């Protein structure tokens, strides 16, 4: 099961929302090695770019044998797409982007800030099809130029770094020629000033790792969770002794089969 499964028997040793006193349960101060974010900024825009994919692969079509077994076709040496090529979709394959042409210039009039110029290259996968109805995936890059102000830490033995995170998804696209598409892309880029540091933090101790819960479509789970025997009626628990005795006296004086019509001393 996971940390957040209702079957987790030790929620106090798992991450989650703190209920009650946040100081309760603190055990020690721990030195942890992390990447500290000194500053970051977000850029989101809709760009229209001409993008050329550098390599491609055919999307395998499963072929079934007479025995019913399905195997994927060999894609080690895909043939070149046959024109006309039709754009289908594109999106980021990962949030890891690369920074090129990086320039950091500290500002004299703003000591804590610097002018950061860089080109962020966001990798994308382009899905397209050819005249033979074969689907292909081409790998390309969206280049985003940024010129921003960021807070830069002072000089130290451990240097800071400028890193980025990028994501993109296409709205529309058209194939031009020579493996080039003209696409309208929604792009999100985050620039961050980082440094590998050691920080002292309060700790509740180690995480209590719950055992894994195997996936299964158990349609009977809800039924099996019911009690084995029917529980006592709430009406029986709430009735007084006098009413119960009166009900019992009336019930015993009735013919067989009519006793169930009386409950908690009240006639149904």
26-85, pLDDT tens digit by residue? 889 999 999 999 999 999 999 998 998 888 888 887 655 555 554 555 444 567 888 888
Evaluate whether residue 109 is within a structural domain: yes
Asked if residue 82 is part of any domain, the answer here is yes
189 close to 164: Cβ distance less than 8 angstroms: yes
Instruction: Looking at the structure, tell me whether residues 197 and 130 fall in a common domain.
Output: yes
**SS3 category, 237:** helix
Handedness of CA 146, 150, 153, 154 (dihedral sign): positive
Does any domain span residue 199?
A: yes
- Reduce the DSSP state of residue 50 to 3 states and report it: strand
Same domain flag for 186 and 245? no
Contact 157, 68 (CB under 8 A): no
Average of per-residue pLDDT values in the chain: 80
Residue 37 lies in a domain: yes
DSSP-assigned beta bridge partners for residue 34: 197
- How far is it between the farthest Cα atoms of the chain? 102
Q: Which of 53, 230, 43 is nearest to 147 (CA)?
A: 43
- Residue 250: which H helix or E strand, with range? helix 241-253
- Given this model, what pLDDT does residue 83 score? 84
- Structural contact between residues 168 and 140, judged by C-beta atoms closer than 8 angstroms: no
Q: Is residue 175 assigned to a domain?
A: yes
DSSP E strands: which ranges in the chain?
A: 28-52, 55-58, 62-64, 70-72, 86-92, 98-106, 113-129, 135-151, 161-175, 180-203, 262-263, 266-267
Question: Which two three-digit tokens encode residue 141?
Answer: 């890059």
**174-194: per-residue pLDDT in tens?**
999 888 999 999 999 999 999
pLDDT score at 250: 44
CA distance 86 to 94: 24
Q: How many domains does the chain have?
A: 2
| 161 and 36 within one domain | yes
Q: Residue 246 above 50 pLDDT?
A: no
Using the predicted structure, report yes or no on whether residue 221 has a pLDDT greater than 90.
no
Same-domain pairing of 58 and 172: yes
Answer yes or no: do 188 and 249 share one domain: no
Residues 158 and 245 in one domain: no
Q: Which domain holds residue 252?
A: 234-267
Model's pTM, two decimal places?
0.66
Looking at 159, 181, 203, the residue that finishes a domain is 203
Whether the pLDDT of residue 267 is over 50: the answer is: no
Which of 181, 203, 225 finishes a domain?
Answer: 203
Q: Is 7 part of a structural domain of the chain?
A: no
């Amino acid at each position: 099961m996971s940390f957040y499964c209702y079957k987790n028997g030790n929620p106090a040793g798992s991450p989650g929302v703190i209920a009650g006193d946040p100081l309760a349960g603190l055990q020690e101060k721990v030195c942890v090695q992390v990447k500290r974010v000194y500053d970051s900024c977000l850029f989101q825009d809709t760009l229209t770019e001409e993008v050329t994919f550098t390599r491609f692969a055919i999307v395998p079509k499963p072929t079934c044998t007479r025995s019913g077994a399905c195997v994927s076709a060999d894609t080690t040496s895909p043939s070149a797409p046959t024109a006309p090529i039709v754009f289908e979709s594109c999106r980021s394959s990962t949030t890891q982007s690369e920074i090129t042409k990086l320039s950091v210039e500290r500002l004299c009039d703003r000591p804590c800030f610097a002018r950061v110029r860089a080109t962020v290259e966001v990798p994308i996968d382009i899905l397209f099809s050819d005249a033979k109805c074969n689907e292909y995936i081409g790998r390309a890059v969206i280049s985003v130029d940024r010129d921003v102000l960021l807070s830069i830490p002072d000089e130290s033995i451990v240097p800071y770094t400028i890193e980025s995170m990028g994501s993109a998804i296409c709205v529309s696209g058209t194939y031009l020629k020579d493996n080039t598409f003209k696409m309208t892309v929604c792009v999100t880029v985050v620039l961050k000033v980082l440094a590998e540091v050691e920080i002292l933090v309060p700790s509740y101790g180690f995480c209590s790792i719950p055992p894994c819960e195997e996936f299964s479509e158990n349609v009977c789970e809800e039924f099996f969770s019911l009690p084995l025997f029917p529980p006592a009626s709430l009406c029986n628990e709430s009735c007084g002794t006098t009413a119960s005795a009166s009900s019992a006296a009336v019930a015993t004086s009735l013919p067989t089969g009519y006793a169930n019509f009386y409950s908690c001393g009240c006639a149904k």
